[in-house]
Structure 1
Amino acid sequence: MDISWVENTFNIEDAILLAAMCHQANLLFEEGEEEPILPNGFKLRYIICALAGVEDPESEVFGFIADSPDEIVMAFRGTDSFKDNESDQDLYQVTYPFARNAGKTHRGFTCIYQSTRDKLIRELNKLSIRKRLLITGYSLGAALSVLAALDIAVNTEFRNPIVYTYGSPRTGDPNFAYRFNQTVKNSIRIFNVHDVIPTLPAQAYPPPFTEEGLYYQHVQKDYPLSFQLNSIARNHFISCYFRNLSIKNPDYTRKLCANNPGFCPDTEVCVPFEGICSENNSILTWKECIMHCDKEPKLTGRIVLPEDSQYNVARQEFNTFFNRFPLVIVFAQETQDVVNAVRWARFWDVPIRMRSGRHSYEGLSVVDAGIVIDVSEMKRVEVDRKHGTATVQTGLRDFELYEILGSYGLVVPAGLCPTTGIAGFTQGGGQSSLSRPLGLAIDNLLEVEMVDANGNVLYANANQHDDLFWALRGGGGGNFGICTSFRFRTYQIDTVAYARLNWDLRDLKPVLRVWQEYTVSGADERLTPLLTIASGQLSFLLMQGVFLGSAKELRRLLQPLLQAGSPQEITIEEIPWLEAVSLIAATQPTSPEPFKSVGPFVDRLLPDEAIDIIQCFINNPPTSSVSVFFHGLGGAVAKVPNHATAYFYRNALSNMSFFATWSTPEGAALGIRWVEDFRQAMLPFTRGVYINTPDLAIKNWPEAYYGSNFKRLTQVKAKYDPKNVFTYPQSIPPAH
């Protein structure tokens, strides 16, 4: 009999009951009890024993199976011995052995489960499949319950196990998470946003950690709690999970505990630890501690904590594939707020991430259990007409900068996407619709205000901290400090010629052959050509471009392209600069969505072989929407030497970006694979990768992003952040 339930439906009574079951599983091991205390109606059926440890595994009790007339409960305990810790730390991955095409899982967890698996399945199969099967685990046991649930759903008649985990570490790679989410339809991952264990293992250990790197992802579905007890241990105790769940249904909890003496955990320890942040012998709440302690650095600005109603909106990234839960988010209102946040994070040894527009492709501007220092509410602009400059705070988005400066009749070459933050955009180089005539954003950057790892404010320009100024121009955001303002050179532009040409995808080959000729040396630098090739729910082949000249000149310049294929739409006109920016922005993603993308450089004309590969991938979209975007470079970009700034690939003709998004969870693995396969297929025809399109799957990322500039970047890092405070996957390390 196949019993079905609504997918991922949270039931508070189940959550409370199973938290107590996990507590009993812990007691079996901690206190050497022969049997757990079970609620009325439940009978013990089996004690789960497994081998823990790496080099000399030892048999330990890990939990039990019990049942009632209607339900079966399989409960696993958390980490509780030296051998358990050995297994926890064995984070290398093995192929999940109990289901086909299920990715890889944590080796230490998998070995524990594998050692007990056959006996566990045999005992489970003795019980009635007419009963609800509830699988639960805490900490290490949560990972075991995830491994067991997929195995049971695939290999037994219990097709629909219900899973509740508490404080679970990550168990496997994205392919495992995808297969689990597809198969185990009712799984709830309960976690405290202040608990460290759910942040482990890290999402990525890129090469050279291993040859291919290790990648981890949580299974669905998240159910966050927020209780800060000023103690790593207390924030993780199963008793404290139980207490905070019981608050949501106190009547049920009272009856459960009263009717079953000894079953519920003692929650007296679940109060804030008194050794931290005391003032006048009185204990402060976590929120008071953050903002009001006199002896420690204070956080200022707009503070968002996990218990605040705006927390979920505040933590959201543009790439919704990533789902992270920071300890605190600081929306800085001025530079001093950034200074205070850095000093606070250093004092409490809290991981730091900085954020401007939330557009990090790999979700690197948010971190679990850390602080996010967000400058997006710092938007002041000062225009100096006499010197032709504009000083802008780094919270501005691309289109906001265009609009504000446009009111003065001025332009700074910012990005194509209207919602990208200028902080990360600029530090990565800054490719725009004016790149060929005006160069990159960094080529027009005159000075940077930055808060360093000690909370000091530095000014970097050609005469002051010139080594840092070099690194901030192309070294990528988040490596050296938190940039709070930029001073740019401005240009007076009122009207431009704008082109928009549209073809059917069948014209891809002839159009791309001709389009790329507009990026070569000698081509008119007044035009920066763009080309989008999209398929899926919407399929089109679209060329756009801004030309610093007349519409008549542009039409004459585009004659070869107008004769390529059969254009379905031809628009060539003179329009205000801001209108041209708006038309280009309208073709860019504007709303948060899950996606995978990466952007290698093209440094020579693509041969027919390469164009055939592009057509093959575009004609076979695995998800709801895929695309390739070409951004014409050369011109003024190429006139700056490769080593003059940290942006290395100056001689590239264009930057091409592979992009996949999906409308269903199962599309994630397909989209990610499509992008990676596409990147690999184009390696013979591309060189390097634009740092603003990071990809954690890239093995030799230092060369891919920075070429031969990487060594100098590590030296600058060692000077300005020797303790590597600003660190994240693929961040620049300090030179030794």
Structure 2
Amino acid sequence: MTALCAQRTFFRGADGYEAARRGTVWNGILPQRFPDAIVQACDADDVVATIRYARAHGHRVGIRSGGHSWTASHLRDGGVLLDVSRLDHCDVDVDRMTARVGPGKVASDFANELDAQGLFFPSGHCEGIRLGGYLLQGGYGWNSKVLGPACESVLGLEVVTADGETLYCDPQQHADLYWAARGSGPGFFGVVTSFTLRLHRRPPVLGTCLYMYPVEVADEVFGWGRSISGEIDDRVELQILTSRNAPEAGPDVPTIAIASPVFADSEEDAAKALSILGSCPVIDRATVNVPYLPTTLANWYAAVMMKYPAGHRYSVDNMFTSASADELLPGIRTIIETLPPHPSHFVFAGWKPSADRSDMVYGVEDDVYLGLYTAWLDPADDARYGDWARSNMAAMSHLATGISLADENLAHRAGRFIAEPNLARLQQVRAAYDPDGMFHSWQAHD
């Protein structure tokens, strides 16, 4: 019978267990769910040993690579929680333009390390998330309208299956498991111990624009934003962000900011690609009007993380939609009118759905993405703020194509996240590789 490494295994009730459990959750809200054991794997052998132990003892398994899993879907009652955040190896082959990385590699570190070598990967927009969960759920990241979700750049994976076997999956070997791994997120039925990734040349120029508008012209800004969302250059990420001012920044009122990254061959190309964002019909009401300035990936990460401070309690929800501005505006008005204090925020983002992603299970997508991110510090405010994101997305759900697993809230609100034919096929592949259901699936789907 396979044994676990005592130094890195914490059984419920033992010293170190609660610290290990707390350490797997980035959100300040710690769910009251308690695995029987938490294993901190340090290499692939630890993963194999843990899976064989779990099978021998009839345990179900949750997996955590380390990120911002808002609902901590890896944390379940009973069974084993396998923490693979320490599998953070990274080997870059510049000649082949590939990298072999562990699921615990911090995506922002990976992006910055590549940046220093003139290379690029569509890593996520937040600092600190690990590549494992990010890649499995699809991975909407920097320059993804051009490069596709990050899972499109996954060339292969090393996976430990439910029977404790290690397989390498790619389009030629175990292609069905490779298909299933790219987009199923926390519903994947295996443990990835390494990814082989396709790298890209870093675009020569990274830039941005910055426009800020008072909330009084929200209808005009969002109506215009929806009207141009399909016309924007793929190298530009349409990002319209609404949040209340920070206490030190002025009155506690919502402000609308358009700060859109651009990835281009020259500053002239970058400015031209961004120029459409200066066409808002109320541009004369902009309190900040910067059509273009050069920036860096590090600066972008720093700007993004101002909205995601550590130690806060978070509740999020989201939707993809193709609805018109007239259909969306009533819900957007309610979101803005009820917006909780800084750093809570509302993101309206443009996207480019693909005509065909049949080579992966990757979820639903549409022209526009709406994301609600509530953040507060005091547990006494849980009842006041905790349902804001869910209730507003529920009220607009009749306009939704579905949701993204990146910001899922499935424990509290059901949503379509994978096309029905793909979901049916995924369950068939699951039955072949995990017939006993040893690995947990998505919350509310187990």
Q: Under TM normalisation by the shorter chain, which class is it?
A: 0.7 to 0.9
Q: Which of 398, 407, 416 is the aligned partner of 1:693?
A: 407
1:654-673 superposed matches below 5 A: 654-673=368-387
**Aligned twin of 1:83:** none
Structure 2 distance, partners of 1:523, 1:352, is 43
In 1, Cα distance between the equivalents of 2:213 and 2:350?
A: 19
2:123 is matched with which residue: 411, 414, 419? 414
Deviation digits for residues 55-94 of structure 1 (CA, Å, limit 9, x no counterpart): xxxxxxxxxxxxxxxxxxxxxxxxxxxxxxxxxxxxxxxx
**The residue matched to 1:657 in structure 2 has which SS?**
strand
Q: CA separation in 1, counterparts of 2:299 and 2:341?
A: 31
* Alignment correspondent of 2:429: 716
Distance 1:704 1:382, change over 3 A: closer
CA distance in 1, matches of 2:300, 2:315: 25
Amino acid corresponding to residue 4 of structure 2 in structure 1: K
In structure 2, relative to structure 1, the CA distance for the partners of 1:481 and 1:518 (3 Å cut) is: farther
For the residues of structure 1 that align with 2:81 and 2:348, how far apart are their CA atoms? 32
Q: How is 1:356-505 mapped onto 2 (pairs within 5 angstroms)?
A: 356-493=65-202, 494-505=204-215
State the secondary structure of the residue aligned to 1:391: strand
The answer to whether the 8 Å contact 2:222/2:325 transfers is no
Partners of 2:222 and 2:164 in 1: how far apart? 49
Amino acid at match of 1:501: Y
Alpha-carbon deviation of 1:370? 3.3
Q: Which has the higher contact order (CA 8 A, sep 6+)?
A: 2
* Alignment check: 8 A CA contact 2:22 2:30 kept: no
User: Which structure's CA Rg is the greater one?
Assistant: 1
Q: For residue 249 of structure 2, what is the aligned residue in structure 1? A: none
Q: Which whole-Å CA distance do the structure 1 matches of 2:444 and 2:104 have between them?
A: 22
* C-alpha distance in 1 between matches for 2:433 and 2:138: 20
1:613 corresponds in structure 2 to 331
* Alpha-carbon displacement from aligned partner over 1:518-574 (angstroms, at most 9, x marks no partner): 531x53111122222123766332222221223434434444433533222344222
Superposition pairs of residues 108-123 of structure 1, within 5 angstroms:
none
Give the 3-state SS of the residue equivalent to 1:599 in structure 2: strand
> Partners in 1 of 2:7 and 2:348 — Cα distance?
40
| Partner-residue secondary structure (3-state), 1:336 | helix
Matches within 5 A, 1:105-184: none
Are 2:318 and 1:599 aligned?
A: yes
Q: Deviations over 1:266-290 (max 9, x none)?
A: xxxxxxxxxxxxxxxxxxxxxxxxx
How far does residue 424 in structure 1 lie from its aligned partner after superposition? 1.1
Percent identity between the aligned chains? 24
Structure 2 counterpart of 1:188: none
Residue 300 of structure 1 and its aligned partner are, at CA, apart by 6.7
| TM, length-normalised to structure 1 | 0.55
SS at match of 2:180: helix
Worse overlay, 501-510 or 685-694: 501-510
Shift of 1:687: 1.0
Contact 1:433 1:545 in 2 (8 A): no
* Distance 1:326-1:592 versus aligned 2 partners, 3 A rule: farther
In structure 1, C-alpha distance between the alignment counterparts of 2:181 and 2:355, rounded to whole Å: 16
C-alpha contact 1:517 1:523 (8 A) present in aligned 2:
no
- Corresponding position of 1:297: 3
Aligned to 2:218: 508
What do residues 196-217 of structure 1 show as CA deviations (whole Å, max 9, x unaligned)? xxxxxxxxxxxxxxxxxxxxxx
TM-superposed CA distance for 1:507, in Å, is 3.0
Give the structure 1 partner of residue 19 of structure 2.
312
Q: Structure 1 438/704 Cα, relative in aligned 2: closer, same or farther at 3 Å?
A: closer
- Contact 2:307–2:344 (CA<8 Å) still a contact in 1? no
1:552 aligns with 2:268: yes
Q: 1:627 — aligned with what? A: 345
Instruction: Look up the SS of the partner of 2:301 in the other structure.
Output: helix
- The answer on whether the counterparts of 2:227 and 2:325 sit within 8 Å (CA) in structure 1 is no
Report Cα offsets for 1:675-711 as digits up to 9, x if no partner: 222112212322111122222356654x444443110
| Equivalent pair of 1:498/1:551 in contact (CA under 8 Å) | no
Residue aligning to 1:574: 294
Kept after mapping to 1: 8 A contact 2:146/2:235:
yes
**Alpha-carbon distance in 2 for matches of 1:588, 1:532:** 10
Specify whether residues 297 and 640 from structure 1 end up closer, same or farther in structure 2 by C-alpha distance, changes over 3 A only.
farther
Normalised TM-score (structure 2): 0.88
Deviations 1:494-536 (A, max 9, x none): 531222333222232222223334531x531111222221237
Aligned equivalent of 1:347: 56
In the alignment, what sits opposite 1:24? none
Amino acid aligned to 2:432: K
In structure 2, what residue type is equivalent to 1:608? D
Would you say the 8 A contact 2:236–2:274 is kept in 1? no
Contact 2:322–2:367 (Cα < 8 Å) also in 1: yes
Larger displacement relative to structure 2 (336-345 or 660-669): 660-669
Q: Which amino acid aligns with 1:542?
A: A
RMSD: 2.6
What is the CA deviation profile of residues 360-385 of structure 1, one whole-angstrom value per residue up to 9, with x for unaligned ones? 22221122343221111111111122
Q: 1:325 to 1:698 in 2, by over 3 A?
A: closer
How big is the shift at 1:315? Answer: 2.6
Question: Which residue is 2:358 aligned to?
Answer: 643
User: For the structure 1 residues 327 and 404, does the alpha-carbon distance in structure 2 shift closer, same or farther, using more than 3 Å as the test?
Assistant: farther
**8 Å CA contact 2:187, 2:442 repeated in 1:** no
Distance 1:699 1:431 in 2: 22
Q: 1:586 aligns with which of 282, 305, 325?
A: 305
Letter in 1 for 2:408: P
**AA aligned opposite 1:674:** W
Q: How far apart in 2 are the matches of 1:322 and 1:629? A: 25
8 Å CA contact retained: 2:161, 2:167? yes
Cα deviation 1:214-239 (Å, max 9, x = unaligned): xxxxxxxxxxxxxxxxxxxxxxxxxx
Secondary structure of the corresponding residue to residue 509 of structure 1: helix
Q: Give, in angstroms, the shift of residue 732 of structure 1.
A: 6.2
Unaligned runs of 5+ in 2: 247-251
Amino acid at match of 2:319: P
- How far does residue 444 in structure 1 lie from its aligned partner after superposition? 1.0
Q: Structure 1 CA distance, aligned partners of 2:311 and 2:421? A: 35
Structure 1 residues 313 and 346 mapped into 2: Cα distance closer, same or farther (>3 Å)? closer
For residues 344 and 295 of structure 2, the distance between their equivalents in structure 1, rounded to whole angstroms, comes to: 30
